[in-house]
Amino acid sequence: MLRRLFLTFLLLLAAPAWAVPAMWQVGQGKRQITLYGTIHALPKGTDWLTPQAARAFNRAGTLVVEIAGPPDPAAMRAVVMELGRLPTPVPLASRLPDDLKPKADALLKATGLPPGALDGMESWLAALTLVQIEVARAGLDPAAGVDVALIARARAAGKPLVGLETPRGQLALFDGLPEADQRLLLASAIADAGKTGEQMQGLVAAWAAGDVERILADFDDASLSPELEKRLFRDRNAAWADWVQAALKKPGRHFIAVGAAHMAGPHSLIALLNARDFKIKRVQ
């Protein structure tokens, strides 16, 4: 159930030596935008920047990403503490269905976290913490992610950087969820723990092949929480479509790199732009 929600972390385990992620272009001439589906962490050594993508990046005057980081670690910790800490600790077990409590106990012991370490966290932050631990245990490296590499290239080339969102804004998407939805997220994180590698093998192959339809089929988790799906995907895609529409009214070439899950399905960024009568061409 968490697979789409944590595409940024989990589409990572079987990346081939050479990947060809999906890429589109909208506009033409001096008013052109490249749309590139990313993964925010990868095994070291994954070769994903194809010559065609490199040319599009080099031609662009501006790189546009979800967050133009990296953020200041101290500032980020302060935001997490502000948004994600409970005023009074609530035992994690009390937020879980009975059938998941034994697995939660075993999982917390396996992670090496001290007893009660997650009790002071809001349910959404406890869920994200568990997923991040799973990612780290799998040996995955966010420093090898596509966004990090593109940001480094842009800075080296002197390209301006634009962030569509802020760290606070992204965390607020989770923090604003009703507690019932947060607990669904937490339960799903515990239920899926230990199965990350097996579940993600096919999804990695789909990203590497640019197969957005397969990504859509594998990442339909509105059943987990329609409100969370709306916040994380539909609302953000609509806001990003507004940004693209406004950018195309002025001269400039932009390379927009956002999570690949935002490019698939009837409510995707691509579908929204098509609905606004923009001519979008799949170029990779």
With tokens 């804004």, the residue in question is: 169
The model's pLDDT over 225-244, given as tens digits with 9 standing for 90+, comes to 888 888 989 999 999 999 99
At residue 223, the pLDDT reads 54
Q: In this structure, what token pair is assigned to residue 267?
A: 């409510």
Q: How many CA atoms lie within 13 A of 133 on its CB side?
A: 19
pLDDT band with cut points at 50, 70 and 90 for residue 8: very low
Average pLDDT score over the chain? 86
Torsion region of 104: left, alpha or beta (phi above 0 gives left; psi -120 to 50 gives alpha): alpha
H-type alpha helices, the chain: 7-10, 51-59, 73-84, 101-111, 123-137, 146-157, 167-175, 179-192, 196-208, 212-218, 226-229, 235-247, 269-275
Which 3 state secondary structure label does DSSP give 70? coil
Residue type at position 254: H
Q: How many CA atoms lie within 13 A of 191 on its CB side?
A: 15
Q: In this structure, what token pair is assigned to residue 185?
A: 């997220």
Q: In this structure, what token pair is assigned to residue 22?
A: 């999906």
Torsion region of 210: left, alpha or beta (phi above 0 gives left; psi -120 to 50 gives alpha): left
**Residues 71, 261: Cα–Cα separation, whole Å:** 23
Rounded to a whole number of angstroms, the distance between the first and last alpha carbons of the chain is 29
Contacts of 149 (CB under 8 A, 6+ apart): 49
With tokens 């995707």, the residue in question is: 268
The model's pLDDT over 95-134, given as tens digits with 9 standing for 90+, comes to 999 999 999 999 999 888 888 999 999 999 999 999 888 7
The model's pLDDT over 167-192, given as tens digits with 9 standing for 90+, comes to 899 999 999 999 999 999 999 889 98
Mean pLDDT of 18-38: 91
The model's pLDDT over 50-100, given as tens digits with 9 standing for 90+, comes to 999 999 999 999 999 999 876 677 888 889 999 999 999 999 999 999 999
